[in-house]
Chains A and B, each alone.
Chain A
Amino acid sequence: MSLKTLQQGIELIRQGHKSEGARLLKIALRSEEIQGEIRATAYLWLAETVDETSHKLEYYNLAISADPNNEHAKKRVSELMAKNLPPIPPPQQAPPEIPVPPTATPTAYTAQSAVDYNNLHTGQEIHANHQIAGIMNGPNGIATAFFISRNGILATTRFAVGGLKAVMLSLSDGNHIQADVVRSYPEFDLAFLHTNVNIAQLLPVSPKRQLESQESLTAVSFTGHTMKGVIRPTKSLIKDGWFPTTISTLVDVGGNPVFDRNNNLVGMLTNNANRSSPYVYGLSIHKIYHLVEQYAQEMRNTPKTSYCPGCGCRSKAGGYGGFYCEHCGATLPEAQDIQRSFDPKLAGLYGENMSRPCPRCHTSIGFYKGTCLRCGYQAR
């Protein structure tokens, strides 16, 4: 019933009857049947019925609350915020060239890996091949990373790089090079590093998106040590992108490529375990490639960004003369050692000028669950 009301509301808005359409959508939204993506869609259509930026933003934020992964809502919030920004000042110097990862999605390579990881015994050392590197100066200890693009992007764990913006990599030929951390995803314990190393052939990727229970796994460290296990059977709900393993002891702090019985890459080992067992989880290689695509898209859309080690995002603030990441508020690395002050003209970048004004403190900072984020006034 609610779904039908919602469809009628959308249809009316499409025909130009905004107020009547909005009324039906609001009725539909009273129902708890309307959840997730559908609820977000309803809010997006409601946003089409209002003209004021602050009202639109409220609906977009409600859409994101209902469906946190809703790209349409995020894009519209981003567009709205961009409209409120001052023009970007001309750069004092040419911005550093930032690599864009390959856009092709991974496919199963016909060539097999040079090393048969599955015929190695646990603990046995092999010559690590050039697709795997070591992180020597991570905050939590030595870690492994592996190339995921031919133009020098490596994947490792966020735990391995912590809040660093660059790490020292040890390559298999004995050379040490610096790698910049260019993006990280704390929620997936994933970080991307950029180097100037070009790789002729990447590790062969498994075409399988779902790993079967009890499937054998071999994780490899940059020193060549292997860790063997299988996909751990579990009745627990596993979050998208993660897979459970029976590996419980790591030889470093993570970031190890994980191979299936055919020596195809299936993911990356992390040192994340749940509270009831010592077994660690891996992150699917397809999730990693999905996120590197997302990173490439970010770089194409907004090239003048800088890496925020605080949250792992690419921040636009530096391009506008700001000092603080608009995602987490951390002081950006380039602004650490200079005299700083907050420029109120950048309030739009932080989404602070688009909410309805607070009745008590009169600022447009915004509300969280009906409470003014500045003065604590409770609107409800």
Chain B
Amino acid sequence: MLFAGRNNRDSSKSLSHFARIVEEILTALDVNLQEARLDTEQGYGWHFLRGSAIIEIYITEQNGRGYMQVLSPIIHLPETGLLPLYRRLLEYNLQLTNASLGVYLDVVYVFNERPLQGLDAAETNTIITMVAGYADDLDNELLNEFGGRLYSQT
């Protein structure tokens, strides 16, 4: 889990239940589950491509609560022009629904995290679709204006 900051506790009640929901949605999105599954230290993880964006999904448990985290690394930060870029990211943060933009090390992410409690398949699908959509739209837009490098390109 990329941004884990909580203390881990060992227990998992229904993570597998939510993992099944995620896999059903990914199957409906034509994602190859065998290729998508990630090895994680705890919980479950998947990654797949959506347009030019990489999407990662994690189902984890922290402090006794389960969480679903959907994130997409979109660009590596450029070497100049960070002030206007950071400002633009904050401006976008006010406009995005169900997703946020953030920076970890030198990579810009589109990000959503939600407790598993009350989560159903429809909402899971909405979150995955929105994060993937934002990532696919924003990566090229930010790259064209501020430079840097697409995360999915090496």
State the A residues within 8 Å of B (CB): 310, 323-326, 328-331, 340-342, 344, 346-347, 350, 352-353, 361, 363, 365, 373-376
Contacts and interface: CB of A to CB of B under 8 A. Distances in A.
B79 A365 contact: yes
Given A329-B85, A330-B87, 6 more contacts: A324-B81, A350-B84, A352-B82, A361-B79, A365-B80, A375-B106
A341 B79 contact: no
Interface in B63-114: 77-88, 103-106
Contacts of B145: 340-342
Interface of B: 77-88, 103-106, 144-147
Contact of B79 (A310, A323, A331, A363): A363
Contact of B80 (A331, A350, A375): A350
Nearest to A377: B105
14 contacts: A325-B84, A328-B87, A329-B83, A341-B146, A342-B78, A342-B80, A342-B85, A344-B79, A344-B80, A344-B147, A352-B83, A363-B79, A375-B105, A375-B106
Given A340-B145, A342-B147, A374 B84 contact: no
B77 A374 contact: yes
Contact of A324 (B77, B83, B103): B83
A366 to B, nearest CB: 9
Given A329-B86, A330-B87, A344 B81 contact: yes
A350 B83 contact: yes
Contact of B84 (A331, A363, A373): A331
Nearest to A347: B80
A229 B103 CA distance: 49
A341 B144 contact: yes
Contacts of A331: 84, 88
Contacts of B80: 342, 344, 346-347, 350, 352-353, 363, 365
A346 B81 CA distance: 8
Contacts of A329: 83-88
Contact of A374 (B88, B106, B144, B147): B106
Contacts of A342: 78, 80-81, 84-85, 145-147
A328 to B, nearest CB: 6
A365 B106 contact: no
A376 B105 CA distance: 5
Contacts of A326: 83
